[in-house]
Every structure is written in structure tokens, then in C-alpha cells.
Amino acid sequence: MAESASPSLPNVVERATFQGELDTLREREKAHTREGSAIAAARRRLPMVEVDATLRLTGPDGSVTLLDAFEGRRQLIAYYFMWHHDHGAAEQCEGCTFYTNQVTELAYLQSRDITYAVLCQGPYEQSRRYRDFMGWTMPWYSAQDSAKDLLAGRQVGMFHVVCYVRDGDRVFETYWTTGRGVEAMDNNYALMDLTVYGRQETWEDSPNGWPQQWPVDSANLRVDGRPTSQWSRLTAGRSDDLDAKP
């Protein structure tokens, strides 16, 4: 028999009852995984559209092309980082900071002939200093001058993940996503979703009494007025002055 727990906790049951409920849920999880695999298979069968391989980016060596950003590999995953012009580090995009902060190991992608790079929608020098302040090491470019062409038909100034493939010197776009689609980069929310309280955000379907203190706005990714992960960088003594001389 279930034992009533605190209003903010599930009922307490015997191990066998718990396992039975979990087994039922596991069937739904397996169906979800299989559907995800089927969607990925459909994604691999999408047509593609050619993109001008000579569109200019700015990187550590100055002006380069979109083709150069492949670094010789066959595929490119580009994250289009939003940029709040004329704002300091504390006012930069908390969502882009959250997602970019989780892409740390590129060796596995590179072993499959895939380059991952950030194409920032702001100026190179300021945004590169932001990258350095955060301690990121992935390839970083400014796409400021080519964003309208690279994101043709989409909202410039919004974060996007765009996938490309090259055939020799020709570049093709094969997929793009934004909004919750970029959660593919995330592990924090994925781990939160495994816990009893989930993300603790107000939109979630949770039992009455469950903590849901986080509204779905910039506050859920900020602490004391800054993107949450910036605080550890400041504690480590890094400068967040985006106007400092290189």
C-alpha cells in the first residue's frame, strides 16, 4: 500500500510496486527512443539546398570563407550565437551561453568527419573576448557580415543550429533548427528531466505542490543578473571586459 508522503514528494511504495510502475514507463521511453531514431532517419533523407561557399566569416586569421570553416572535414555543424550589440558580458544572451557552455569535447565529432563551430552574429573581437572569458575553445567566427545570406528566410538575431555538408568546393545546407530544437546540445535539462522535480519550470506538467519557481524567460538561466555560468569565471579572476585591447 502506498504511504502518503509530503505534498512535494511522491508516494512511498514497496520496491516491487515501484519497479512495476517504472517498467510501464520504460515501454513509453523505448517507444520515444524508437520514434527519435525514425525521425533521425527521415532527417537523413531530407533534400538539401546549396549555399554560397564563399560567404565571408571573420576568424582568428582574419577574413575566411564558409568553406574554410569546415577545416577540411566533410560536414559542419554551426551554432549561430546571438549577440547583443553595445552590451557588456552580463547582458549577453543567457540561452546561447547556456547551450554553448555544454559543447566541450569535439574529438568525437571530428572523428566522424564533422567540424563544430560557433558563428557569432556580432563583431569578432568583442565576441572572441567573450569566448575567452567563458573559457571556450571551439572554433569561433563572426558571421556578422554574412548572416542575412547564411540565414536566408529566417530570423537573424535568433539562435540557430545549422548543419552543412560539402561536396568538394560546394557547400549545402541539410538541416536547421532553433527554439527547443537546440536542446540537442544540452545535457543539463536532459538530466533534470530524469529527476522527480524535472526542470522546476512553470510550463511543466507536474503534480500539485512540486516546486516550479522558474518562469520560462531569461530568469531561468540567470543568477543575480548574469548568465549563471559567468559567476565561476569571475571567481576564477577572468576579465569580462569585452572592450579590452586584444
Per the structure, how many domains does the chain have?
Answer: 1
Residue 215 lies in a domain: no
Residue 26 lies in a domain: no
Shortest CA distance to 221 belongs to which of 135, 102, 125? Answer: 102
Q: What is the mean pLDDT of the chain?
A: 95
Residue 36 lies in a domain: no
Residue 208 lies in a domain: no
Burial 106-133 (b: 16+ CB within 10 A, else e): beeeeeeebbbbbbbbbebebbbbbbbb
Binned at pLDDT 50, 70 and 90, residue 7 comes out as: confident
Structural domain of residue 149, as residue ranges? 49-184+221-235
Tell me: pLDDT of 4 over 70.
no
pLDDT score of 106: 98
**What is the helix, strand, coil percentage profile of the chain, to 5?**
35, 20, 45
Residue 196 lies in a domain: no
Burial of 88: CB neighbours in 10 Å, binned 0-12, 13-18, 19+ = middle
Residue 18 lies in a domain: no
Binned at pLDDT 50, 70 and 90, residue 218 comes out as: confident
Residue 214 lies in a domain: no
Q: What is the pLDDT of residues 96-140, one digit of tens each?
A: 999 999 999 999 999 999 999 999 999 999 999 999 999 999 999
Residue 143 lies in a domain: yes
pTM of the model: 0.94
Domain harbouring 154, CATH code: 3.40.30.10
237 CB-near residues (< 8 Å, 6+ apart): none
Number of other CB atoms surrounding residue 43 within 10 Å? 12
> Are β-strands 170-177 and 49-51 bridged in parallel, bridged antiparallel, or unpaired?
antiparallel
